[in-house]
Chains A and B, each alone.
Chain A
Amino acid sequence: MDFIGAYSQEHLAFLWDGFLVTLYVAFISIILSFFFGLIAGTLRYAKVPVLSQLIAVLVETIRNLPLLLIIFFTFFALPEIGIKLEITAAAITALTIFESAMLSEIIRSGLKSIDKGQIEAARSSGLSYTQTLFFIVMPQALRRMVPPIVSQFISLLKDTSLAVVIALPELIHNAQIINGQSADGSYFFPIFLLAALMYFAVNYSLSLAARRLEVRQT
């Protein structure tokens, strides 16, 4: 183990670059998958004819495939039908497809958890179905969904490391290159320890933030 060699200024700067790529890819994917997941989950909850069934088939298919396969698919198979994505775009697309499906299920079950009595009360006081959904059900459901959604975001951030197979220059990728600088592998432990701490710091802050949100609601 060579902590001094592994933690040279150049290595730390290089590892930090990788960390920023991880955060960037995770951040964009979180925004996109929350958006698509919200739409898909709500449509499925509202039982819109045809559209709901179509989304159900899509979501069930994606949810039951490994993310690694979806990453390979976006990078290698899409160019064959004329969609050519750069490494970062391919990684974001794959993560968004997968996590949207996961989030849509969280959102659907959150909406379903709201008591039927409330919907009946809202409808009988003159609100339309759409108004009931957006002003009565959704706000309460979203609050309940905070913990599972945040834990899904945490797995998304960790899952960005899978994109190392298509050479996305993220945290693990850069850690591997730094590890390769020493012939005898003496940087392995120090550099991967640091990478682990970086993942932990972000993810733990996320779950602390989620816990605070929960406390405030009750």
Chain B
Amino acid sequence: CGSKGSNGEASKESKKDTLAAIKDNDKIVFGVKTDTRLFGLKNPSSGEIEGFDIDIAKQIAKDILGDEKKAQFKEVTSKTRIPMLQNGDIDAIVATMTITEERKKEVDFSDVYFEAGQSLLVKKGSKIKSVENLGKGSKVLAVKGSTSSQNIREKAPEASVLEFENYAEAFTALKSGQGDALTTDNAILYGMADENKNYQLTGKPFTDEPYGIAVKKGQSALAKEINASLKKMKSDGRYDEIYKKWIKEDPAE
């Protein structure tokens, strides 16, 4: 609706200031997940995407452009999010993306907007109490292409790792007994445990997985605005509200 071919132009002029373009177009386009519970999940009946990431993105749009309706969402997958940012299809990625040194070479990150840590989900009464119990012969379920599957290989080198397309598929595998534990970020595991009382988190989180909002490399003006917005929503209570709505816990300090 009324687009001025801005996407095509942006990809050619990589030096162009994204923040200025956002203000010119009066909209900000976020790349989000549509199949991840709690963070970004499409609602089949309304077609709307809902979740923690979405609510944070809306508040950022409100702080930068004055109206949360000026946030637009485009679906990304773990494979497409960085190329779409580089091509100018999206202005920023808010898609459960962990800040890593490797990724910092390709994109710039905002401050941490969600402090996640990798944990284990097991059936109640399981012998596995922590990551140390995952020895030879035990099977861990993880999600493909995520940092969590690399981490578990380092923390439990003896265990075999089975990888699935997404969390729901991995959890189905856990329930059908294809593995002893499911590993991923704790926030997602809390969601699963909350709706399925036979399963619980075990042990302390064994990694530090800070989620960040990614912008195109060199777009420091936009990164600064996003950081200011995150700071503002943490101080005025909007952040805590969103956190409780989705994670069902108080944000840990």
Contacts and interface: CB of A to CB of B under 8 A. Distances in A.
Interface string B38-60: 00011011000000000000000
Interface stretch (B29-37, B61-69, B149-157, B200-208): B29-37
A167 B77 CA distance: 7
Contact of B83 (A14, A76, A180): A76
Interface in A171-188: 174, 176-185, 187-188
B76 interface: yes
A179 B44 contact: no
A187 B169 CA distance: 10
Contact of A184 (B7, B87, B195): B195
Closest A-B pairs by Cβ, 10 of them: A14-B44, A185-B172, A10-B45, A183-B195, A184-B196, A185-B171, A188-B172, A180-B35, A185-B168, A179-B168
A162 interface: no
Interface of B: 7-8, 11, 34-37, 41-42, 44-45, 75-77, 79-80, 83, 87, 165-169, 171-172, 175, 191-192, 194-196
Contacts of A183: 37, 171, 191-192, 194-196
Interface string A176-212: 1111111111011100000000000000000000000
A181 B76 contact: no
B168 A188 contact: yes
A57 interface: no
A118 to B, nearest CB: 51
A11 interface: yes
Interface in A64-105: 72, 75-76, 79, 84
A178 B79 CA distance: 21
B37 A184 contact: no
B200 to A, nearest CB: 13
Which of A10, A11, A72, A179 has the largest count of B CB atoms less than 10 A from its CB?
A179
A180 B37 contact: yes
A55 to B, nearest CB: 31
B171 A181 contact: no
A14 B44 CA distance: 6
Contact of A180 (B7, B168, B175): B168
Contacts of A72: 79
B77 A176 contact: no
A38 B45 CA distance: 43
A11 B46 CA distance: 11
Given A167-B77, A180-B168, 14 more contacts: A13-B44, A79-B11, A84-B87, A165-B80, A166-B80, A180-B37, A183-B171, A183-B191, A183-B192, A183-B195, A185-B171, A185-B175, A187-B168, A188-B169
A184 B36 CA distance: 13
Contacts of B77: 165-167
A182 B87 contact: no
A165 B11 contact: no
Contacts of A166: 77, 79-80
B7 A84 contact: yes
Nearest to B38: A183
B169 A185 contact: yes
